[in-house]
Structure formats: C-alpha cells, structure tokens
Amino acid sequence: MSALRSHEKFAVCNRNGQATIMAVLRALIERADYESMTSRPGWEALIQATGTSRTTVARVLRLLAAWGLIGRVASGRQAKYAAAGPDGERINEAAVYVLCTPSPLALVNKVGTPPALGGSHLKEKKLTHTRAQEKNSHTDVATPRLIPKGAASGAPAAQVPWRPELLWPLHRTTKRQIQRVAAASEIRYRSFPLRCMTPKDVASSCRDFFLAGWTVADVLHALDWRPDGTLWPHSGAPDTKNPWRMRGWLRHRLNTWRTEAGEPLRSRDQQAAARAAALRREQEANRRRILERQAERAARLDVDDSPAKVTALAKIRAMFDMDKRQRAARRKAEQPS
C-alpha cells in the first residue's frame, strides 16, 4: 500500500479516484496468500468491497498492472470453459493476481550474475548461478571444435562481423556507389561462383556496365548468354575460391558484351525497352493515320453530300452491280457449249 501512495501517477489522481484504487488494492491484499503473494478474490468480492461497478474494477486492475503493483498470473474462466473437478463438476474460476513492489534500478557486477531468488519454498534449496562463471572450469567437457578462418564461407580473407546483405531489385538501374555495391551484393547472392568475391570487388568489375544503365538481371544474363543469343558451352567457372581467378572469369564473360572500342553493348533490358519504344511509336503513327483519314472523310462528307445520300448511293451501286452480275451469268448459261 505504501508503494501505491508513493507512486507518481497515483498522486495526480483526484480524491475519488485515489479512494477507488486503494479500495481495490486493499481488497486484493486482504484476500492474498502471503506464502505465494497471490490473490484470487473474484469479481463479486471486488465489487462488494469497493462498491463500484465491474467496469470500474477492471479499469483499476489495468492501472495497477500498468504501474507494476500487481501482475496477472492466470485469467478467470467461466464454468463451461473450465476443466472438470474430481467430482466431475465445473465451476467458475477466478483470476489470479500476484502482488508486486516496484524496485528501482541499481548497479550490478557485470562479470557475475546474481542468483535467481524465489519465495519461501526455495529457502531450503541450494542456490545456483543462472549462468556459468569464468572461474568454474570443468575438465570433463569436450574441447571446442576449431573452425579455421574462412572455412564457413570459403573466402580466404579474415571473417568480419555479420551484417545484413544489401538487396537490390533485378530490373532497376543504379546511380550512386552504394547502389552499385547493393546491386553487386545481389549478383553474388544469385551467382554462387561469385560468392568468394566481396561486393565491392564485383561492383568494381561491373562498374562500366552499371554506368551504362545495366541492371542485375542484365549482368546475370551476360554471364550465361553471348551477344548473338547463344549459350556458353559450359559454365566455365573455375573450381576455386581465389577471388582473383573469379574476377578474371567475370571480366572475360562481360568483355564479350563490349564493342571494339570497349564500350558496353546494349543489354537485354535495354534492347527490350528499345523494341517496346519502337512498337509504341509505330502504334502511335498508325493511330494518327487513322484519325487523319477519318477527319478527311468527315470533311469530304461535309463539303459534298450528306451521310444519308452517300449511303443511298452506295446501296444503288450495289444493286446495279448485282443485277449486272446476274445478267452476265444468264448470258453465259445461254451460250451453246
């Protein structure tokens, strides 16, 4: 109760609120089991002891739990959800709360961990540390397995602390150095032979192509396909973990996608974008010609004849043409064979 009175948030409540909170906490204390410091009064007992509604009691319980003065061990259950007792009867189960006293933070020894203390039922038990101490050496434990440097990833360089891998979309171009490194990291992830190289090494080997607007998908495509559309006869990747050998293999594959002057060719995505742009221009030109033809036809109708007259003349011409064909067919049938 003294911890409640000294709480900073309790002091800002009005008198009625303080009286209600103290009544709920007093009801919990009066019905507490001091051996386990738990209390299970039930809703009816709390409502009768405080003279308030169930909603008010529930709100005060939430406040006490938020202030660290009580904790909910188990929530209550209705009889239809509770387990049957030894006699087979189901009864309502009240919620169980534990009474707490907030303790301020204090300095601790960083090389030692204090033992985990419990209630009075642990007084006769031997307390042990929850974490192994450095001074406790065991002679019967297995020796740790030594992992040589670089064995986990196959890289000859020294291992560095783990950090999340940089990710980059397959079909997005790069503009800055950090973006090129992220794209190179994505290439390493998708091409297993290149994992012995660092992302910066891959980014340096692909720098000219990234500056020319190539994407991650373009570089991966260039490692498997030639510019004429034929596959490489085999992967050709050397069976090694030496970064300098993989760097030579990577640059050899990419050099086939250069012009005689050493400039990168248009990549697959760039070729697809060019074809799509040409198709759009062709469709736009066709649409423009159709609109111009329709405008000319509409202007001609406005100057010469009305649409009804043009339709009637077309029907008359069709009738004359059909009659002409029928007469020609009759004359042909009347001629002697």
Give which of 320, 188, 210, 293 is closest to 254, Cα–Cα.
210
- Residue whose entry in the numeric block shows the structure tokens 């990549």: 267
Distance CA 253, CA 230 (A): 13
Token pair for 131: 């974490």
Q: Where are the domains of the chain?
A: 2-80+92-99, 177-265, 273-304, 308-337
Q: Answer whether 190's CB lies under 8 Å from 220's CB.
A: yes
Q: How wide is the angle at C-alpha 181 spanned by C-alphas 178 and 186, nearest 5°?
A: 130
Q: What is the model's pTM?
A: 0.41
What CATH number matches the domain at 2-80+92-99, 1.10.540.10, 1.10.3300.10, 1.10.10.10, 1.20.950.20?
1.10.10.10
pLDDT in tens, the chain (337 residues): 778 887 888 888 888 888 888 888 888 888 888 778 888 888 888 888 888 888 988 898 888 888 888 888 877 766 566 566 666 666 677 788 888 777 666 666 666 665 555 454 444 545 454 444 455 444 444 444 444 444 444 444 444 445 556 788 899 999 999 999 999 999 988 888 888 889 999 999 999 999 999 999 999 999 989 999 888 877 667 777 788 888 988 999 999 999 989 899 999 999 999 999 999 999 988 888 888 888 887 777 666 666 677 777 778 878 888 878 888 877 777 766 5
What's the distance, CA 293 to chain centroid? 53
Nearest residue to 98 via CA among 155, 39, 174 = 39
Burial, 210: exposed, middle or buried (Cβ in 10 Å; 0-12, 13-18, 19+)?
buried
DSSP letters of 205-259?
A: HTHHHHHTT--HHHHHHHHHB-TTSPBPSS----S---HHHHHHHHHHHHHTTB-
Contact by Cβ (8 Å): 93, 110: no
